[in-house]
Chains A and B, each alone.
Chain A
Amino acid sequence: MITEETPSVRIKGVGNGLWVTIAPETPFELIQIELARLFEPFKRKLAHTMRVVLDTGACQDNGDRHRQISNYLKDIFNLNEIVTPKEIESGKEKRLKMKDSRTILSQQHSDTLVIAGRVRSGQSVYTKKHLIIMGDINPGCELTAGGDILVFGSLLGTAAAGQPDNRGAIILALDFRPLQVKIGDIVAAGLPSTGQGVPEFAHIEKGTIVVDDYLAENPFKRIPWPVIR
């Protein structure tokens, strides 16, 4: 129901585009006048690629009305992309994800166990998710993590990442010389390493564990926005 306060045409900025809400049962001529008035100030500055969501409300001849106003907008203001709210909702998830990448990612509790110091022979570290160790791992130690294992030091013991069945986990160390590594259910021993001082990481490629130079072959460079792992 139209009251005096409810304007027949409302425009709201949404993300990269506009959300135009048309009050139902408003005559087309009135809509045209209102649209012209509202869009006038930025007629020239409107980007063609800007997405406009046209919300005509719940009407029985919804489709026609929407098309009518849509065509008018396209003709007069040269807008290419005019969609209904329903189409937006299905693509809503993707938009939200991209929106996340532009704001600060914050998390109140941590899934990662961070320890500092030397892990000695006979000791073992277990964590359900990720493991970060700032220190050295002596031969004879066992590290087990449900997620990734990142060692900021020398890794000389055994490391099992991605337990029990995550083959996407990685094991990274600044000095990568483990006795044995396990990612998910795949085990590898006697891995060659290029030598001191080169950060390397083990990951699964085509069913086997391979060790690569991390800086040269960083697989995460290809992910364009930060994703919580």
Chain B
Amino acid sequence: MQGKIIVISSGKGGVGKTTATASIGAALAMGGKKVAVVDMDIGLRNLDVVMGLENRIVFNIVDVVHGRCKVQQAAIRDRRIENLYLIPASQNDNKDALTPKDMIRISKELRKKFDFILMDCPAGIEQGFENAVAAADEAVVVCTPEVSSIRDADRVIGLLYAKEIPPKLLVNRIVPAMVEKGDMLSHQDVVDVLSIDLVGLVEEDNQVVVSTNSGNPIVMQDNSKAGQAFKRIAMRLNGQPDLPIEVSGVSKSFWKKIRSKIGFGK
């Protein structure tokens, strides 16, 4: 069966691409698929740290491309989640170490070995981005509800459309209380500007920091809202695209609800 390559991109840095890649990859593997998460941030690798596998790295993606090792030698199996593999980036090269042609070449091998290949795209729109999207079938664009992030995501969406890769939107780090007060843009504002299909909404969750530092996947914590959201996103990418999007709201008191229905403002 041919594997599917999904690139997780954003344009802006620090919006949650690496967290999303690790979490969605873990959720897909927990659902029974054979998943490889590939760190395409050559020189600034951190997918391995987030997944807690940094002490087991021997080979990386640059070694695979230059023929120094095979794909299965570079792929690190996660001991907690069956079927989840990490192909790390190199720490001492930079983005010029790979070319889009190289990525298209090894993607053929990756597709034979895995059901899903998630590429963690680096920030920016230069060589790193070009390498990561070269062999992608689909894209998930991660965006936070902030004007700077929306501006950069818009640019990336334009570039993805130009490469005929259909993008889907993930709105990350939403704080429902701020949205309610009007201090933060709602996900609807983001969708209005970017105008692409929504694949999921993820709330701001302090558990993410804890998970990252301890190297434990957040999708394995049942009490984490972000973890549950990533699980639903994985389901939507894995053949359930019509799973309804859950919009988290601040729980209103009964009287507030009546007032807002009649139209007496917030």
Contacts and interface: CB of A to CB of B under 8 A. Distances in A.
Contact of B155 (A118, A122, A136, A156): A122
Contacts of B195: 118, 136
Contacts of A122: 154-155, 158-159
Interface in B143-163: 147, 151-152, 154-155, 157-159, 161
A218 interface: no
Interface string A148-180: 000000001000000000000000000000000
Most A Cβ at <10 Å: residue of B152, B154, B195? B154
Interface in A79-135: 118, 120-123
A139 interface: yes
Contact of A123 (B147, B152, B158): B158
Interface size class of A (residues with CB under 8 A): 10 to 19
A140 interface: yes
Interface size class of B (residues with CB under 8 A): 10 to 19
B143 to A, nearest CB: 12
A120 B151 CA distance: 9
B252 to A, nearest CB: 26
7 contacts: A118-B195, A122-B155, A122-B158, A138-B193, A139-B147, A139-B151, A140-B151
Most A Cβ at <10 Å: residue of B151, B158, B159, B161? B158
Contacts of B157: 120
Contacts of B154: 120-122, 138-140
Most A Cβ at <10 Å: residue of B157, B161, B193? B193
A185 B155 CA distance: 28
A139 to B, nearest CB: 6
A66 to B, nearest CB: 72
Contacts of B151: 121, 139-140
B105 to A, nearest CB: 29
A42 to B, nearest CB: 67
Nearest to A119: B158
Nearest to A141: B154
A120 B193 CA distance: 9
A121 B143 CA distance: 14
Given A120-B154, A121-B158, A140-B151, 10 more contacts: A120-B157, A120-B158, A121-B152, A121-B154, A121-B155, A122-B158, A123-B158, A139-B151, A139-B193, A156-B193
Interface in A29-70: none
Contacts of A121: 151-152, 154-155, 158
A118 B147 CA distance: 18
